[in-house]
Structure 1
């Protein structure tokens, strides 16, 4: 059983380094730092680190560690919530002694000495809690800090339990986690409360989106526009679901212009979009993915493919 093999590896290594995907969301951070917290609570003498670029909008969840390259020598490396190697944050992930992949996305790259991929799980955070349940008999322990992180990951990747990925297992695990002593209201505020400038951006999106007869919808947020609203690119993630609230929208893309690229946040209510995202330097789930384009002309090509996918689905 792969989970037992993963537990054995965790027991064997004194140094463990945990990675996740670039541009983290609550599940990426929740599974990554939740696993770190569980391991540290269970094995206090182990050195357990989490690495990757920080996202200011998620600093309320957890921070990252800064470690030297030499730390990877003789280390166990675990990558959470990342289907393909191109999206792993911090390219040193291959520098350890052993590599493990834990993920719930559809398989893109097979990497690592061990892989645990469960596409029936709502989130990688759900998988980490399952790992804890299996490891209890071997001494694995969980605390309120870990429960908070895993709960945040599950809530984030299920859209507050609204998405079809939510199962009875998901709800049972979430029910277990809220039994621990953490402030759920404070967590929800951190995840969903928005500042006034985000509220104004939502108003702009609702007044300026483009909707095609196929049900494909798009909005383009340029650097000049974000400067007008005094926003960084990462802060726009709070508005990604806005277009999905509009009747008749089947799938949508929010383009966010950065200095050297254009981020594409892709969502769907029907047609599978993860393979489309992969064709544009990205990946993700069938109904929620991300991609990157490097010009507005390439953005137009992505829109054309999405429009065709919506037309075929109808």
Structure 2
């Protein structure tokens, strides 16, 4: 697969790299880390990165503005996007050829080439593996920083079960490059005072059921009161993770026309549940969307049933 992907990269003068909407460090890291590898290895190629931006992560990279006609003759590589509706910038559909590189469980086969490894800790880990498999490829210090940021973000600083011996090995190779890890960590995990105050609200208002399901509802009014955006709430998903007795937890965030749900677990498998509610993701970390608080309550009851069954086994 590495050889097939490199062969297609060599075949195109124009390459556009994309990823999922609402980017996290792994989305940025894999997307822009790959662009750094291609640009350093093949300086005559035009390489673009496109998609929506998260203001808290623009220190990692800023996106390019690309005209429609550029897509028509381009190879598009889509990183870290399991299904097509979540791809940021739907113009990939007019590209000449599409490659999918992803580490989520496969629910949507798209593209001319699919490289999907659900056991990988992150798509950034996969991009490093692609680089390491071909001595002719070059990796810049900035590229190493981006890939490391992606691995750190998707492993929860190497705490999540997806972290493997390979993950640590690749991280060890990446930190040989002279970027400042301390500064990187500070920027990745910095939060505004308003976000910190909302964290206090969460710790005072969560609901913990006897099944081990913990939930917090952040309405539009609460977000307005604390002056925090829906996007910024992603920084707080782990707030209730270490509370004693929690087996799985739900973060409900009300937006204008929907309620975004972040689902996390310490053991019960939850990506099937997320799929039932307009979402999907990993076995222990998924996202969903509901359209009323009644539907949110049904999702919460369904998660409780999953935890009861898990407890019984």
For normalisation by structure 2, the TM-score amounts to 0.97
2:8 maps to which residue?
9
Confirm whether residue 287 of structure 1 aligns to residue 284 of structure 2: yes
- How far apart are 1:194 and its partner, in Å? 2.1
Equivalent position SS for 1:146: helix
Equivalent residue for 1:300, pick from 287, 297, 300: 297
Runs ≥4 residues deviating over 4 A: none
Rounded Cα–Cα distance in structure 2 between residues aligned with 1:52 and 1:278? 24
1:230 maps to which residue?
227
2:93 maps to which residue?
94
**How many correspondences in the alignment?**
311
Structure 2 gaps of 5+ residues are none
31-40 or 294-303: which moved more?
A: 294-303
| CA displacement 1:161-216 (0-9 Å, x = unmatched) | 00111111100100010111111111101111222212211111011001111101
2:200 maps to which residue?
203
Equivalent position SS for 1:253: strand
- How far apart are 1:219 and its partner, in Å? 0.3
Confirm whether residue 58 of structure 1 aligns to residue 72 of structure 2: no
1:18 maps to which residue?
17
Rounded Cα–Cα distance in structure 1 between residues aligned with 2:88 and 2:192? 28
Confirm whether residue 135 of structure 1 aligns to residue 154 of structure 2: no
Equivalent residue for 2:269, pick from 264, 267, 272: 272
Query: For the Cα contact (< 8 Å) 1:87–1:282, is it kept in 2?
Result: no
Rounded Cα–Cα distance in structure 2 between residues aligned with 1:299 and 1:52? 29
Query: For the Cα contact (< 8 Å) 1:202–1:239, is it kept in 2?
Result: yes
Rounded Cα–Cα distance in structure 2 between residues aligned with 1:281 and 1:53? 21
Equivalent position SS for 2:187: helix
Equivalent position SS for 2:217: strand
| CA displacement 1:207-251 (0-9 Å, x = unmatched) | 100111110110011111111111111111111001111010000
Equivalent position SS for 2:126: helix
Rounded Cα–Cα distance in structure 2 between residues aligned with 1:153 and 1:183? 15
Rounded Cα–Cα distance in structure 1 between residues aligned with 2:275 and 2:20? 14
141-150 or 79-88: which moved more?
A: 79-88
Structure 1 gaps of 5+ residues are none
For normalisation by structure 1, the TM-score amounts to 0.97
- How far apart are 1:271 and its partner, in Å? 0.9
Query: For the Cα contact (< 8 Å) 1:57–1:234, is it kept in 2?
Result: no
| CA displacement 1:253-287 (0-9 Å, x = unmatched) | 10111112111111000111111111212111101
Equivalent position SS for 1:100: strand
Query: For the Cα contact (< 8 Å) 1:211–1:217, is it kept in 2?
Result: yes
- How far apart are 1:292 and its partner, in Å? 1.4
Rounded Cα–Cα distance in structure 1 between residues aligned with 2:65 and 2:302? 40
